[in-house]
Structure 1
Amino acid sequence: MSREQQKIIKKILFYFVLAVIVVYLLFPFYWAVNSSLKSQAQLAMTPATLLPRDPDTGNISFFTRNYFAIFKNGQFLRGLFNSTIVATSTTILSLLVGSFAAFALGKLRFRGKAPSLYVILAMTMFPQVTVLSGLYAVINALNLSARFSMIFTYMLFTLPFTTWVLTSFFKDLPKEIMQSAQVDGATPFQTFYLILLPLTAPALVTTGLLAFIQAWNEYLFALTFTSIDVSARTVPVAIQYFSGEFARQEPFGEIMAAAVVVTIPIVILVLIFQKRIVAGLTAGAVKG
């Protein structure tokens, strides 16, 4: 077998594996969209169809009323509002506090810096369910509102991650930048805010987006802390309590429509900040 044939075979295998990975990753989202455009009768068809089809004629037929139903559902709209408030607040606070902590851990000298980093890393390893009961007791003792409780508890997981990632970015920044700023008379805060922080913009976007996604999709804490205050339910919890407008049984089509709508903001954010995300993920990969 010639080298040219070997190259062709390797290229075919590469694109085959790539196609399998793409299908594996995108098929669940495609199936959610496909199911959201089906009526209850279409969902009950066997075998399941890759496109919405009329049960009687077999022609392609899209059932869009699932989307109209969820936007008429006050519980779902209120959940969107609550999720936006909680996820945005969690992200902003995590970036604000995490950037200060990362600057101190990455650029300043003080005792106990290494143990502090290990403690921060250890905090990211605790499963949520292990701290849920203790947090619930603290929240009840402090008599905090449901929305503030979710913001407070989400930061227990987004803040350590944000601090750990940003610390590595601050460490990679040249020391000469900070020394030049000090020679020019800048205070440590001015050096951090005016010089170093803008240089870490890709890292801020990457970690902020990941923190937002984690807060946006979180279910366990949201279900627990909104068990009494129904008006504070976020989208994942609101979807669970869907009663359905067109179906007396499980409203699978409306649930899938809601899942698609909830995914759209994340997709839009990724498309808007994709260059920053790639820069943040690849920063520090090449030295020199």
Structure 2
Amino acid sequence: MKADVTRLLPRPLLVIVTVLLCALVLTPVLYIVLASLNSDVGVASGEFWPGTLTLDSYTRIWTTAELSTGIVNSLIVCGVTAMASALLGTSSAYVLVRFSFLGRVSILRGLVGLQSIPGTLMLLPVFVLFSSAGTYLGLTVIGTRWGLFLAYLTFALPFSTWVMVTYLRSLPRELEEAARTEGASTTVILWRIVIPLSLPAIVVAGIFAFLLGWNDVLFASVLTRPETRTAAVALQVFGTAQEGGALPVYSQMMAAALICAAPVVLLYLLFQRYLVGGLTAGGVK
């Protein structure tokens, strides 16, 4: 006997609402794609459909906006941040979930509390701290990739740890107990059992850490110099530099925006299966 499914809306109305929502989301994306294939004059004149499709904007943007350096810096910093936060978050979450010690509950509550602190409030303290490291320790932090990595890791690690805590609570302890009776150490259990079983959640934590750095403009604009600026900062600088010009290069701006969005879209397509599994598995006991 099939179970009755309760729908919030009748099927015809549900189809109409779905089509309208998809059109609302995809219409701006379609306009960006068409504008990037149009000329700057055509976009400035208000053309929606380009009279002539051209890829000139995609070839010229690499010299006008200096996207190549920004994308390389973003991939390095965000990739290292994603891997470090996922691995450290998994190790920290395993300790918080499987062991009892003084202050464990306070740490778990602190992880939740850290998510409510706006990043804008931390910009000045982080800048002063990094500047002090250069003054008192002789370390150059501001303007380097690893300084930006430390800033991103500070915000990504609490979230990654909490994601892994939620997921590890749903893993059965029997597998670890069976491995421990066979003489496996805690490190072996973590790397041979926990991490392979937690791969969907690790991917989720890594992707969110990657996006945190990829979309950031505030910290990257303050903690970098022209040689180490990220793709988001390069795109912002390019857009700001073109304001008030004789001919706004809207087509090149659209092309640059699509190029900067391509790695994120590719990341979602590659890890879509793990992403969906990691987001849903931790909520089902």
Contact between 2:96 and 2:165, CA under 8 Å: does it hold in 1?
yes
Taking a change above 3 Å as real, the CA distance of residues 199 and 51 of structure 1, as seen in their structure-2 partners, is same
Other-structure match for 1:35: 35
Alpha-carbon distance between aligned partners in 2 of 1:255 and 1:91, rounded to the nearest angstrom: 28
Other-structure match for 1:201: 199
Contact between 2:77 and 2:149, CA under 8 Å: does it hold in 1?
yes
Offset of residue 285 of structure 1 = 4.1
Offset of residue 74 of structure 1 = 7.1
Alpha-carbon distance between aligned partners in 1 of 2:119 and 2:172, rounded to the nearest angstrom: 37
Alpha-carbon distance between aligned partners in 2 of 1:122 and 1:24, rounded to the nearest angstrom: 35
1:70 to 58, 61, 65: 61
Mark the runs of 5 or more structure 2 residues left unpaired by the alignment: 1-6, 135-140
Confirm whether residue 95 of structure 1 aligns to residue 93 of structure 2.
no
Confirm whether residue 239 of structure 1 aligns to residue 260 of structure 2.
no
Other-structure match for 1:119: 110
Confirm whether residue 109 of structure 1 aligns to residue 105 of structure 2.
no
SS in 2 for 1:195: helix
Alpha-carbon distance between aligned partners in 2 of 1:175 and 1:24, rounded to the nearest angstrom: 46
SS in 1 for 2:183: coil
Offset of residue 25 of structure 1 = 2.5
Contact between 2:163 and 2:205, CA under 8 Å: does it hold in 1?
yes
Confirm whether residue 83 of structure 1 aligns to residue 74 of structure 2.
yes
TM-score (norm 1): 0.87
Q: Letter of the aligned partner of 2:165 in structure 1? A: T
119-128 or 141-150, which deviates more = 141-150
Deviations 1:67-97 (A, max 9, x none): 1111334721111111111111111111121
Q: Letter of the aligned partner of 1:172 in structure 2? A: S
Mark the runs of 5 or more structure 1 residues left unpaired by the alignment: 1-6, 54-60
Alpha-carbon distance between aligned partners in 1 of 2:255 and 2:216, rounded to the nearest angstrom: 19
- Runs (4 or more) in structure 1 with deviation over 4 Å come to none
Q: Letter of the aligned partner of 1:200 in structure 2? A: S
Alpha-carbon distance between aligned partners in 2 of 1:250 and 1:126, rounded to the nearest angstrom: 38
Alpha-carbon distance between aligned partners in 1 of 2:26 and 2:219, rounded to the nearest angstrom: 28
Alpha-carbon distance between aligned partners in 2 of 1:265 and 1:109, rounded to the nearest angstrom: 41
Other-structure match for 2:138: none
Identity %: 31
Alpha-carbon distance between aligned partners in 2 of 1:142 and 1:30, rounded to the nearest angstrom: 47
Offset of residue 173 of structure 1 = 0.6
Superposition RMSD in Å: 1.8
Contact between 2:86 and 2:202, CA under 8 Å: does it hold in 1?
yes
Offset of residue 259 of structure 1 = 0.8
1:152 to 145, 150, 153: 150
2:226 to 227, 230, 244: 230
Alpha-carbon distance between aligned partners in 1 of 2:124 and 2:247, rounded to the nearest angstrom: 33
Count matched residues: 267
